[in-house]
Amino acid sequence: MGFRYLDVRRDGSVEHVTLNRPDVRNAFNDVTIKEITWWADAVAAKRDVRAVVLGGAGSVFCAGADLEWMRRMAAYSHQENLDDASDMARMFLALDKLPVPVIGRIQGAALGGGVGLAAICDIVVAADDAVFGLTEVRLGLVPAVIAPYVIQKIGRSAARELFLTGARFSAQRAAALGLVHAVVAPSSLDQTISAYLADLLAGAPGALAAAKHLIAECGRRTTTESATFCAEAIAERRASAEGQEGIKAFLDKRKPDW
């Protein structure tokens, strides 16, 4: 599929997907949403992609929802608005459920839905001069479909502050909140991401997918409810070909075959 607002590039087993609408700071509209969802579903089915880097072209990672598109939608019926918003919710769900690790590359700003995109990433690397903000209330909106992902990352207390004030905050604050994992000079973004990629590629692909699934499942269960699920997870893994190969490689003092 040819994309209008997405740039997709493969580098070995790493897929780089870049929002490519820099004239509006990569704000996303209905077309972008369809393209990202299509891309995410396709990547989830590919066995040869082992990691994804999600970025934005130009000076800003993502300025959130396209406010021109939002303005147009205001004239549509409630059902049409609901269908449209559901498409956006499906996009975030598809990204969140990706079985491969996703690294977010944040330069300039991540605002509104841009924070939502950062929140669905497993690892976020941000430039030290990047600004973040859940600015929706200042536009008379709410950070709605991104709320579950953002709240999971920053917790309800920070969500109360940041959803309600709409205030912009620094990359350092985003890191303190757990939204960002590394804050680096803008010129060091790619180098830092390469180091993370090297770590990710050292792990077994099936184990990484299982680890993502484990985190998601444990997040919505009590410790009691998690016990059986987690016991099954390790029982399955150590008997798997990857688990056996990984353990054998360690004991044989050699690199595993993935």
Interface contacts to ligand COA, rule CB under 6 A: 24-25, 27, 59-60, 63-68, 109, 111-112, 135-136, 139, 141
Minimum separation from the CB atom of position 88 to ligand COA (A): 11
Compare residues 35 and 66 and give the one whose CB is closer to ligand COA. Answer: 66
Compare residues 52 and 145 and give the one whose CB is closer to ligand COA. Answer: 145
Q: Which amino acid is at 136?
A: E
Compare residues 22 and 203 and give the one whose CB is closer to ligand COA. Answer: 22
Compare residues 33 and 49 and give the one whose CB is closer to ligand COA. Answer: 33
Contact 96, 120 (CB under 8 A): yes
Compare residues 173 and 237 and give the one whose CB is closer to ligand COA. Answer: 173
Backbone region of residue 19 per phi and psi (left: phi > 0; alpha: psi in -120 to 50; beta: other values)? beta
Query: Percentage helix, strand, coil, to 5, in the chain?
Result: 55, 15, 30
Closest CA to 234 of 250, 255, 213: 213
Minimum separation from the CB atom of position 76 to ligand COA (A): 17
Minimum separation from the CB atom of position 99 to ligand COA (A): 29
Ranked by CB distance to ligand COA, the top (closest) residue is: 112
**What is the edge-to-edge ordering of all strands in the sheet holding 168-170?**
109-111, 131-133, 168-170
Bridge partners (DSSP) of residue 54 are: 17, 104
Minimum separation from the CB atom of position 139 to ligand COA (A): 6
Minimum separation from the CB atom of position 65 to ligand COA (A): 4
Q: How far does the chain reach from its first CA to its final CA, in angstroms? A: 29
Q: Give CA–CA dist 24/148, Å, rounded.
A: 26
